[in-house]
Amino acid sequence: MRATAGLAVATALLAAACQRPAPSPSPSAPPSATPTGPRAPADFVDLSTVDPTVRTDIRYAGSHNFVGRPIDGYAEPRCLLTRPAAQALHRVQTAALAGGHSLKVYDCYRPQRAADDFVSWAKLPGEQLMKGEFYPAVPKDRLFADGYIGAPTAHSRGSTVDLTLVPVSGPPQAGYTPGQPLVPCTDPAGRRFADDSIDMGTGFDCFDPRAHTADARISDTARNNRDLLRRLMSAQGFENYPLEWWHYRYVDEPYPDTWFDFPVAGSSLR
């Protein structure tokens, strides 16, 4: 009788455990993000293996960005993309080289943890190390509300890239030394940071309306350069984000509803 009662109790406890709801997802993860492991899907590649001629300046792997330090998730300065996006970018590069220019990428796949890092930083009013260059006219407490920072981001789906055009025969990229004097990203090309980009009207990641692709205040030269980049990218299936002249998404992206979080590193690739 005692053994039978014990068996009944054990059976009831097992049934209750099976009916217990699954734990809720971490509150730090965006509602639309898909949990992923530390490795990328098999169709992610390093852009350099598809087209080694595309130049790179992966800003979030270093200190020359609007935060002023390496961003969480950028273990290495690599451009990781889905293979379809990388192959399309190779076709853009072929056309750009024929016209005397090369693509230069600033950012490609971005882990969800990096977007979370941006949001956390935006909530810290005292950290404004790079304001003088990247958001000289915008109060930091407006960066999130005005749409300059947000999460999740299309970059985390692996088919979006930030990039510019550089002359094939131009001077090399200037180095950045942490702590050097900052110049507003809206200043003329001869005064702002000496990026080797052709003049696009502002620097990269410039949190200012002048960075909007169709802003009327930029020079004719900058407008023509933005139009050139847009034509080259559009011809191979990329779509510009109108608030950032440098931001392009591959329209036929293979993961339109998946946000990944593996780190930017060679070890993430299969």
Helices (H), the chain: 2-19, 47-50, 83-98, 112-122, 131-134, 220-234
* CA dist., res. 3 & res. 56, Å (int): 71
Which run of H or E residues covers position 164? strand 160-167
Q: With contact defined as beta carbons under 8 Å apart, do 225 and 166 qualify?
A: no
Reduced to 3 DSSP states, what percent helix, strand and coil does the chain have, rounded to the nearest 5? 30, 10, 60
Handedness of CA 60, 63, 69, 74 (dihedral sign): positive
Q: With contact defined as beta carbons under 8 Å apart, do 224 and 36 qualify?
A: no
Our answer to whether residue 76 is catalytic in this structure is no
Residue with the two structure tokens 């024929």:
98
* Among 76, 127, 133, 244, the one annotated catalytic: 244
* CA dist., res. 125 & res. 101, Å (int): 40
* CA dist., res. 2 & res. 123, Å (int): 61
Q: With contact defined as beta carbons under 8 Å apart, do 58 and 77 qualify?
A: yes
CB atoms within 10 A of CB 38: 10
- List active site positions: 244
